[in-house]
Amino acid sequence: MRGLAGKIAIVTGAAGGIGSAAVARLLAEGCRVVAVDLDEDDIVKACGEVDGDRFVAVAADVSTPDGCAAYVKQAVHRFGAVHLFLNNAGIMGVRMPIVDMPVAEFDRIIAVNLRGVFLGLQAVIRQMIAQGEGGAVVNTSSAGALRPYVNSAGYGTSKNGGISLTKVAALENGSHGVRVNAVCPGSTATPLLTAAFGAEGAEKSGDHLPLARVASPDEIAALMVYLLSDDASYQTGGVYTVDGGLMLT
């Protein structure tokens, strides 16, 4: 894809299924990658042993301003700039009806999936504006934001908030040459899906779809990396599903 070789990318949630698939694609396109997750060993396990000239693993909690400042600082320290940002870390949290959900669990989901996306946008776009060369951002939302389901008050709300942040950030930063888009994956074969629905439930969660299966993480990463590339140079503020046809059902 155009405009990726030599760029410096930050990917959060890089120890997870979708994040590590995106890291692999960005490295294959010639990017240098700052891979962020809670635990450094987990990042290396998921992403593999990568040439240190093009890859750094950073342990940071995206729900804190210090965590977001730390990964931007590492990117600038190691590679000199930030051009691309996949704001992807997320949790499903405990699935339960609103009437049963502890407030602390709702707050925990919002802290990672919504506050974390806001803090990441703030830290990274400030850096992009200071560099004066524009940039591209993809926020990971969810098909569950567009098609709500039961027991997902925290998750669905946080992912809808991520769509709002995407649109506001796109409006505010287009004049700086910073594009911001959201990707809404459907059911994707990652630890998050298995934790939420169990191994069998996760596998079956694609049965009712037009494509009759769940996505591989790489099928989601493909769209994300396209949106980060210059092939998507006129796309900003967009909300793109990769859902096997879920929206038609």
Ligand X SMILES: NC(=O)c1ccc[n+]([C@@H]2O[C@H](COP(=O)([O-])OP(=O)(O)OC[C@H]3O[C@@H](n4cnc5c(N)ncnc54)[C@H](O)[C@@H]3O)[C@@H](O)[C@H]2O)c1
* Least distance in angstroms from the C-beta of 41 to ligand X: 12
* Least distance in angstroms from the C-beta of 154 to ligand X: 11
Q: Which is nearer to ligand X, 10 or 62 (CB)?
A: 62
Q: Where are the beta strands (DSSP E) in 42-83?
A: 55-59
Lay out the site mask for ligand X across 58-77 (x = CB under 6 A, - = otherwise). ---xxx--------------
Stretch of 22-30, 76-84, 123-131, 184-192 lying at the interface with ligand X (CB under 6 A): 184-192
- Site size for ligand X (CB under 6 A): 27
Which amino acid is residue 32, in one-letter code?
Answer: R
DSSP-based helix, strand, coil % in the chain, nearest 5:
50, 15, 35
Short-list 167, 143, 153, CA closest to 107: 153
When asked if residue 120 is in the footprint of ligand X (CB under 6 A), the reply is: no
Q: Where are the beta strands (DSSP E) in 52-169?
A: 55-59, 84-87, 135-140
Q: Which is nearer to ligand X, 80 or 198 (CB)?
A: 198
Choice among 71, 155, 226, 240 that is catalytic: 155
C-alpha span between 181 and 211 (Å, rounded): 25
C-alpha span between 203 and 76 (Å, rounded): 40
* Least distance in angstroms from the C-beta of 106 to ligand X: 15
Within 148-177, the residues that bind ligand X by CB under 6 A are: none
195, 201, 203, 206 alpha-carbon torsion, rounded to 10°: -110
Among 93, 156, 185, 206, the residue binding ligand X under the rule CB under 6 A is: 185
Q: Is 155 a catalytic residue?
A: yes
3 state DSSP class of 109: helix
C-alpha span between 227 and 219 (Å, rounded): 13
Within 7-36, the residues that bind ligand X by CB under 6 A are: 12-13, 15-19
Catalytic positions, please?
A: 155
Binding site for ligand X (CB under 6 A): 12-13, 15-19, 37-38, 61-63, 88-91, 112, 116, 140, 142, 185, 187-188, 190-193
